[in-house]
Structure 1
Amino acid sequence: MKNRRWAGKRSGIAFGAVALILTALVVPYACAGTTGAVPFSGDNPSSGTRTVTIADITDFHGHIERGADNATAFTVADSHNPGNMIPVSTGDLVGGSPYESAVEKDQPTLDMAKAWGLTISAIGNHEFDRGVADFNNRIADPSNGIDWLCANASAANKSPDGLLSHVRDSTIRTVNGKRIGFVGALTDALGSVATPQITRDADLDERAVDAINRVARELKRSGKVDAVVALLHADASAAADIGRDVDVVYTGHSHAIKRGTTAGGAPIYEAGSFGRNMAVQDLIITGAGRRATVRVADVDLGNGTSHTAVDGVLGVDGLNAHPAQAAWMSAGAEENDEVSRAQHIYQASATYANHTGSAVIGTLASGVNFDKQGSDKHGNTVGVLVADANRESIMKHVYAGNRLPVIGFSNNGSLRTPRLDMNGDGKVTVREVDSLMALQFKAAHETLTGRDVKRVLAEQFRRDDGRLERRWLGISSNVTYRYAECGTAGESGNADAGVDTDSGADTNADADECAADEHAAVRIANLAVDGRPIADDDLVIIASNSYLLQGGDSYPAFRAGTNYGELDMPYSQPLHEYLAAHQGLTAVVAVPVGTQA
């Protein structure tokens, strides 16, 4: 069995002592209010019934500060069914990570996963943050010990010469005498959360659910496995059409805690994010191959784990420090025990991160900070700051003239922390900037017409059940514009009033212009850059990150750009340069995009 960590790896006197303590600590898991859970009663060889336990995390995103909590949870799950537990991940194990992992290209997270004994994962979109080739050659390198699964990537791409040569449709583990097949797939919406280049390189040529059903059918009906587990990096609702050949489904991507049921009757679990939750289930398997029957029972591990609102998904945040674990940790756990190794990995990574990230690159005026919290009336101050930095960087490195106006943009999805100066000491460090901008985008630029800039601005507004919903971009502070809501059906095309972003003056949307785009929620008017009016045919240089300018975060109007180019620098570098050049920054007030009259 490849998953050696959970098959008798621990032995000797030290393990015996730990096992005795764990026996005393582990409580029956048929707690009041736990729907569908039954006490673990062991196996029944005479009837051919054996139990295999699955413990799933998803969207860990390099949060190695919780690595010991997860190591503890996996260990307690193993003690529930000794030697017969399989840990799995449903994707986004790495990417968008805290500085401690990101500064070392997430190698600490891969080391952490190895310490846990994690050998199976679906691919998530953030596994591709540094490109598909980087994923295949570095993250999916066999030396890291993980079988990465993506059944809906093309077969050609998974061939020995393909960009995903280290990826497979499925993998099989034989545990407790039963063969468990695992099949993985990646969200069909990859194009909306990754750059066009990544989407092309990944080459998803089949709907995720169709791929899972196809592979599960092959595994089950060939008699190669006794049970099938699906790992789908997509929201739980995306698994609804999975068929009867799958016995349990684990999902992810939306960072939610959810439960559902497939068309084939299998339970679906989504276990949150960032290492705070874990889904643990018993597969109670009778018979073998095509004649096998599988019953799924939720496991309540006790021992400091907490209940969530969803049966089968446990809270494990803070588990390693829980009093229930103290006796176990003092009972002579082996030096290379999974929990100790996880602690050591984090401590070493934190020490390195503190050393590399403590340099101060900028200062803020007293009482000033830049945060991500916006409102219906305003964008967020950190988004405007990043947009101003993007603008200044492109004017410094690419376009030093003044004939064409330059606008900077940023998107909320590229900003990963709630504020710039996280500890509020007025000093901005390398760590704080790189944690805010932890994704692997590049600084980029392109040219849009004034008409296309207006389309970008209009994409900040959408209708939802008749209401105007706003999702502000960060826009450089040299930009002003007015917007007016387009008329809704039944209003004879009449538009509501809008508000000038700098003067507060009312304006009415032109019915003809709104009608030109049936999906438009607003009309943009009086666009000006540096006080200069921008006509529809004027050219404007746009400065932002590579993801947004390729239409990311559902802003497709950026794709109309020409002269697209990327700088040889991460998208955090413009902010590094801006902070260094503007010491003692005062708050940038977000452009006051006004309310409807």
Structure 2
Amino acid sequence: MRRLLAQTSLVGLRRARSAAWVALGAAGIVLAGCGTPAAPSPGEAVPAHLDITLIGFNDLHGNMEPPRMAHTVQTPSGPVAVPAGGMAYFASAIAALKARGPHHAVVSAGDMVGASPLVSSLFLDEPTIEAVNEMHIDFNAVGNHEFDRGWRELLRLQHGGCEKFTTRQPCQISQPFAGARFGFLAANTVRVEDGRTLLPATGLKRFTQGGATVTLGVIGLTLQATPTMVSPSGVAGLRFEDEAATANALIPQLRAQGADVIAVVIHEGGNTTAGVQETSCAGLSGDIVPILERLDPAVDVVVSGHTHQAYVCDYSRVNPAKPFLLTSAGQYGTLLTDIQLRVDTRTRRVVSKTARNVIVQGEAFTGSQGRVPMTAAVPAFGADPKVQKIIDTYRAAAVPLAQRPMGQAVAPLRRRLTPSLESALGNLVADAQLEATRAAESGGAQLSLMNPGGLRADLVPDEQGVVRYGQLFAVQPFGNQLVVKTLTGAQIKAALEQQFASGGNTVQRPRVLSVSRGFSYQFDLSEPAGARISRMVLHGVPLQGDTPVRVVMSSYLDSGGDNFTALTEGRDRLVGGLDLDALEAYFRTHSPVALPATDRITGAR
């Protein structure tokens, strides 16, 4: 009975697969645990209630191996750090939570893939999908990072196959790649040409006990701001609609299909001041709040993500008219949310709901703060052998490449921002991209711009100062191409103004570009929008509005990513090599690499 049905495809009906998937159409539902409810046997009592375990997680980001992270718990003898994460342990933790009762569902609130460590990203995140298949989850509400390589590649991860949509080669290990055996949901992601959803909007899972049947309805949502966070070319032809309005419109449809319990699984989130194991709404803030304020109170649970924060919140404490249970399980598979729902089988409604975040204690590690051993303060989970085998297979294929020395650095290069919102790592990457494209035949670049969100890890050399390929890959895992084109001084100023006033880029939450050596400018946030940038200087010469400049940037920025629409302008566009190749070449020719100056931007607040 535990067979999954249904998934949509933009390319038509797919052949039936071993997991018994059947295409229903782009606005269809996904059924799990389907079938006709069993009639009670003669004399069999119908239970007064049925208990469901809903297991939630989010922002896994392809962390196959333990991410060397710890969560602190309070014990009678004081705080204790607990080593957490690793998909083999994560799989065992899910199995342990399922084993507590016969009725369970597992949902992910997005960013399962994308911005992943090398063991997954090098293979287009096929390893992550294969590992999660072994966990037998039900649904993943896609996040913004699922669109990092474009919506066609997202559909390939769902349906399988080896069609090439990126610069990297698919199916390097699994030939062919079978795709996900769980449903991707994206209720508010709509194709412009026909108004149909790219992926199913909702899913159902039915539970039967003693003749009583209870149905869980799941609505999967991607944050509406996704187009501002990924390459516009990757979401071309798609429209991302309002999250609350989309969910509210779907609730009557789910009720008509028999849903008794409504769960919204959304890749949007917030922040609280509560600890990992607290269950309060203390200090709740963030973009999830206005969505909750407009959400139909018929929703029972909201499983959220995106902010990488961990919280469990009875939202009725914030707004008594909105009795949602709001949860988030942090990041990188270090936590799972154990949600317990009790459903009255007569009224077919939830009568009690509780949740807690469970630390996925894995293996000890030694980090920058010393050794973090395993502890008896929280349960430990063994490694799931099937998932561990997948990890070992892909690690063996990746390690020889990851361990190749690239050069040396004299000190750690970090993403930490200075008061002027620069970072040493960002400036280094900008310098590397400028050097890779400075030659006339490579584009003749004079200035480089680098977005901070494209830097996914700090770059810390080992004791001998050596930096390896795997570390460079972790810094820039997206495989963007370098684009050189001519912009005027006025267009460059317009782009820099958009650091503080464009989409989600605001004075309160600026997104400041790193710039290459030889360029400097000032900003003053007390000035009005459009007048905050001044004194732009390129190689000692003030930059005039009509001065042409050859500027290099990633293909992500070239297409207007991170709300920098001004960078879609320009002329004489030349597409070159990969950003990662430029960083590798810089280390090979400049070792030992020194810390770049962080005096290129002067700011006033």
Q: Give the TM-score, by structure 2 length.
A: 0.73
Which residue identity does 1:579 align to in structure 2?
F
Q: What is the match of residue 249 of structure 1?
A: 302
Shift of 1:156: 7.3
**Inter-CA distance 296–73: structure 2 relative to 1 (3 Å threshold):** farther
Query: Does the CA-based 8 Å contact 2:517-2:600 persist in structure 1?
Result: no
In structure 2, how many angstroms separate the alpha carbons of the residues matched to 1:535 and 1:298? 61
Instruction: Specify which of 73, 79, 84 is matched with residue 93 of structure 2.
Output: 73
**Inter-CA distance 446–3: structure 2 relative to 1 (3 Å threshold):** farther
In structure 2, how many angstroms separate the alpha carbons of the residues matched to 1:482 and 1:350? 46
Q: What is the match of residue 481 of structure 1?
A: 521
In structure 1, how many angstroms separate the alpha carbons of the residues matched to 2:524 and 2:378? 59
Shift of 1:585: 2.3
Which residue identity does 2:259 align to in structure 1?
V
Query: Does the CA-based 8 Å contact 1:462-1:468 persist in structure 2?
Result: no
Shift of 1:154: 2.4
In structure 2, how many angstroms separate the alpha carbons of the residues matched to 1:79 and 1:557? 54
**Inter-CA distance 317–477: structure 2 relative to 1 (3 Å threshold):** farther
**Inter-CA distance 480–286: structure 2 relative to 1 (3 Å threshold):** same
**SS of structure 2 residue aligned to 1:130:** coil
Query: Does the CA-based 8 Å contact 2:129-2:157 persist in structure 1?
Result: no
Shift of 1:387: 0.5
Shift of 1:252: 1.0
Q: What is the match of residue 112 of structure 1?
A: 131
**Inter-CA distance 286–155: structure 2 relative to 1 (3 Å threshold):** farther
Instruction: Specify which of 198, 203, 207 is matched with residue 239 of structure 2.
Output: 203
Q: Establish whether residue 318 from structure 1 lines up as the match of residue 376 from structure 2.
A: no
TM-superposition CA deviations, 1:243-281 (whole Å, max 9, x none) = 133221111111122335386422221221111222111
Q: Establish whether residue 297 from structure 1 lines up as the match of residue 345 from structure 2.
A: no
Query: Does the CA-based 8 Å contact 1:475-1:591 persist in structure 2?
Result: no
Instruction: Specify which of 245, 253, 261 is matched with residue 315 of structure 2.
Output: 261
In structure 2, how many angstroms separate the alpha carbons of the residues matched to 1:156 and 1:452? 30
Q: What is the match of residue 538 of structure 2?
A: 529
Instruction: Specify which of 384, 387, 390 is matched with residue 342 of structure 1.
Output: 387
TM-superposition CA deviations, 1:483-519 (whole Å, max 9, x none) = 45545xxxxxxxxxxxxxxxxxxxxxxxxxxxxxx42
Query: Does the CA-based 8 Å contact 1:3-1:173 persist in structure 2?
Result: no
Shift of 1:471: 5.0
Q: What is the match of residue 542 of structure 1?
A: 551
Q: What is the match of residue 180 of structure 1?
A: 216
Q: What is the match of residue 590 of structure 1?
A: 598
**SS of structure 1 residue aligned to 2:59:** coil
In structure 1, how many angstroms separate the alpha carbons of the residues matched to 2:393 and 2:299? 41
**SS of structure 1 residue aligned to 2:90:** helix
Instruction: Specify which of 550, 555, 559 is matched with residue 564 of structure 2.
Output: 555
TM-superposition CA deviations, 1:325-344 (whole Å, max 9, x none) = 99985xxxxxxxx8222223
Query: Does the CA-based 8 Å contact 2:140-2:185 persist in structure 1?
Result: yes
**SS of structure 2 residue aligned to 1:203:** strand
In structure 1, how many angstroms separate the alpha carbons of the residues matched to 2:193 and 2:332? 30
Map 1:340-489 to 2 at 5 A.
Answer: 340-364=385-409, 367-377=410-420, 379-396=422-439, 399=442, 401=444, 406-418=446-458, 420-460=459-499, 472-484=512-524, 486-487=526-527
**Inter-CA distance 84–564: structure 2 relative to 1 (3 Å threshold):** farther
In structure 2, how many angstroms separate the alpha carbons of the residues matched to 1:55 and 1:146? 14
Which residue identity does 1:557 align to in structure 2?
A
In structure 2, how many angstroms separate the alpha carbons of the residues matched to 1:76 and 1:269? 20
In structure 1, how many angstroms separate the alpha carbons of the residues matched to 2:567 and 2:417? 23
TM-superposition CA deviations, 1:148-204 (whole Å, max 9, x none) = 111112277799xx893xx21112112244221211111111121112222324333
RMSD value over aligned CA atoms? 3.2
In structure 2, how many angstroms separate the alpha carbons of the residues matched to 1:432 and 1:438? 10
In structure 1, how many angstroms separate the alpha carbons of the residues matched to 2:361 and 2:97? 15
**SS of structure 2 residue aligned to 1:144:** coil
Which residue identity does 1:558 align to in structure 2?
L
Shift of 1:391: 1.3
Q: What is the match of residue 203 of structure 2?
A: 171
Shift of 1:348: 2.8
Query: Does the CA-based 8 Å contact 1:163-1:201 persist in structure 2?
Result: no
Question: Quick check: 118-127 or 134-143, which moved more?
Answer: 134-143
Shift of 1:439: 2.3
Map 1:216-231 to 2 at 5 A.
Answer: 216-220=251-255, 222-231=256-265
Which residue identity does 2:258 align to in structure 1?
K
In structure 2, how many angstroms separate the alpha carbons of the residues matched to 1:124 and 1:227? 23
Q: What is the match of residue 92 of structure 1?
A: 111
In structure 1, how many angstroms separate the alpha carbons of the residues matched to 2:192 and 2:567? 31
Which residue identity does 2:243 align to in structure 1?
A
Map 1:498-517 to 2 at 5 A.
Answer: none
Which residue identity does 1:433 align to in structure 2?
L
Shift of 1:472: 3.8
Map 1:572-583 to 2 at 5 A.
Answer: 572-583=580-591
Q: What is the match of residue 283 of structure 2?
A: none
Q: Give the TM-score, by structure 1 length.
A: 0.74
Shift of 1:577: 2.1
Question: Quick check: 585-594 or 210-219, which moved more?
Answer: 585-594
Query: Does the CA-based 8 Å contact 1:110-1:144 persist in structure 2?
Result: yes
Which residue identity does 1:148 align to in structure 2?
F
In structure 1, how many angstroms separate the alpha carbons of the residues matched to 2:514 and 2:449? 5
Instruction: Specify which of 130, 145, 154 is matched with residue 135 of structure 1.
Output: 154
In structure 2, how many angstroms separate the alpha carbons of the residues matched to 1:231 and 1:468? 28
**Structure label with greater radius of gyration:** 1
Query: Does the CA-based 8 Å contact 1:446-1:549 persist in structure 2?
Result: no
Q: What is the match of residue 274 of structure 1?
A: 332
Query: Does the CA-based 8 Å contact 2:362-2:380 persist in structure 1?
Result: no
**SS of structure 1 residue aligned to 2:339:** strand
Q: What is the match of residue 23 of structure 2?
A: none
Q: What is the match of residue 272 of structure 2?
A: none
Query: Does the CA-based 8 Å contact 1:357-1:431 persist in structure 2?
Result: yes
In structure 2, how many angstroms separate the alpha carbons of the residues matched to 1:383 and 1:575? 11
Shift of 1:454: 2.2
Shift of 1:317: 4.3
> Matched residue pairs, number?
490
Q: What is the match of residue 27 of structure 2?
A: none
Shift of 1:350: 2.6
The runs of 5 or more residues in structure 1 that have no matched partner are 5-43, 300-311, 330-337, 488-517
Shift of 1:86: 1.4
Query: Does the CA-based 8 Å contact 2:521-2:534 persist in structure 1?
Result: yes
**SS of structure 2 residue aligned to 1:126:** helix
In structure 1, how many angstroms separate the alpha carbons of the residues matched to 2:253 and 2:418? 51
Question: By percentage of residues, which structure has more helix?
Answer: 1
**SS of structure 1 residue aligned to 2:189:** coil
In structure 1, how many angstroms separate the alpha carbons of the residues matched to 2:488 and 2:230? 25
In structure 2, how many angstroms separate the alpha carbons of the residues matched to 1:155 and 1:558? 25
Which residue identity does 1:534 align to in structure 2?
L
Q: What is the match of residue 16 of structure 1?
A: none
The runs of 5 or more residues in structure 2 that have no matched partner are 5-43, 66-85, 161-177, 270-287, 365-373
**SS of structure 1 residue aligned to 2:384:** helix
In structure 1, how many angstroms separate the alpha carbons of the residues matched to 2:188 and 2:413? 41
Shift of 1:349: 2.7
**Inter-CA distance 139–357: structure 2 relative to 1 (3 Å threshold):** farther
In structure 2, how many angstroms separate the alpha carbons of the residues matched to 1:63 and 1:116? 15
Instruction: Specify which of 134, 138, 143 is matched with residue 124 of structure 1.
Output: 143
Shift of 1:95: 0.5
